[in-house]
Every structure is written in C-alpha cells, then in structure tokens.
Structure 1
Amino acid sequence: MAANVEIYTWSTCPFCLRAKALLVKKGVDFTEYCIDGDEDARDEMAQRANGKRSVPQIFINDRHVGGCDELYDLDSTGELDSLLENSAA
C-alpha cells in the first residue's frame, strides 16, 4: 500500500509548485488541499502543522514533514524515499 501523502497549497505559490513537482517526479500520488483564501482551511492546516500557517505544509502518513525546504532536505538525505515506501499501518 502506498504512503498517504497530503499537501496544503496555494495555487500560485512557487514553493507549493516546487514541492508538488518533486512528488510528481517521484511518481507519488498525493491529495492536494488548495486553500486559496480559505481561512477555515488554513486554521485546520495550522492545527495539524503545529501552528505553522505558511504553505505548503506536507504530511506523509499523517506525519507532518514540513514545507518545501524540508521535503527537499528529506529527499537529499534519502529519508523521503524511506517515508514514501513505509505505507500506513
């Protein structure tokens, strides 16, 4: 079973586009929550993301991994592939 990947985005955010591009390049299916101007959705995201309100916010198997920079950091150390291979229990 594939990892459950969720990403909160704004449609014109360059960091969101970059994070999604990495996931697509890796062939990862993900659920995108585009929260443009939706403060209720942003509040929900912030609650899940330990108060972080910037986008993107990325979750793998309900684990908050951070934003675009953190996603690329995980990729550069090989940890991202490991997270993506470990399917939800």
Structure 2
Amino acid sequence: MTATVEIYTWSRCPFCIRAKALLDRKGVEYTEYCIDGDEDARAKMAQRANGRTSLPQIFIDDRHVGGCDDLYDLESQDQLDPLLEGSAA
C-alpha cells in the first residue's frame, strides 16, 4: 500500500519547491494545498501541524512529519521510504 502524502505550500516558497522536488524525484504522488494568502487554510494547516505555521508542512498518512528540512532528514536517515510505502508505524 502506498502512503497518502499531503503538502501545504506557497507557490514561490523555495523550501516548498525543494520538498516537492524530493517527492517528485522519488515518484511520490501527493496532494498539494497551495495556500497563498489564504489565512483560513493556514490556520487549518497550523492546527494539523501542532501549531507550526512555516511552510511547507508535510503529512504522510495523516502523520505530521514537519517541513522541508525534516523531510530531507528522514531521507538521509533512510526513514522516508518506509513511511512512503505505508509500512512504518
């Protein structure tokens, strides 16, 4: 089973672009919520992200994994692929 990946972004955010580039390189399908100027969407994201308001915010199978640096940290620790495969706890 493949994990469900969601990412909240701003269209011109370099960290958002970098995070999506990693997911794209891995062939991951994801749902992107581009929230440029949408404060209601940002508030919803912050609620899901335990108060974090920076972008991007990334969720894998409804689990908050954090932002761009967090995503790359998971990749460097060989922990991203198991999450993306839906086999991690």
Aligned ranges for residues 1-89 of structure 1 at < 5 Å?
Answer: 1-86=1-86
Question: Structure 2 stretches of 5 or more lacking a match?
Answer: none
Matches of 2:9 and 2:85, distance apart in 1: 23
Q: Partner letter of residue 3 of structure 1? A: A
Separation in 1, partners of 2:3, 2:82: 10
Unaligned stretches of 5+ residues in structure 1: none
- The one-letter code matched in structure 1 to 2:48 is R
Cα distance in 2 for partners of 1:86, 1:58 equals 15
TM-score under structure 2 length normalisation? 0.96
Aligned length: 88
TM-superposition CA deviations, 1:19-62 (whole Å, max 9, x none): 00000000000000000000000000000000000100000000
User: Structure 1 stretches (4+) deviating beyond 2 angstroms?
Assistant: none
C-alpha separation in 1, matches of 2:20 and 2:51: 22
User: TM-score, normalised on structure 1?
Assistant: 0.96
Percent of counterpart pairs with the same letter? 76
Give the superposed CA RMSD. 1.2
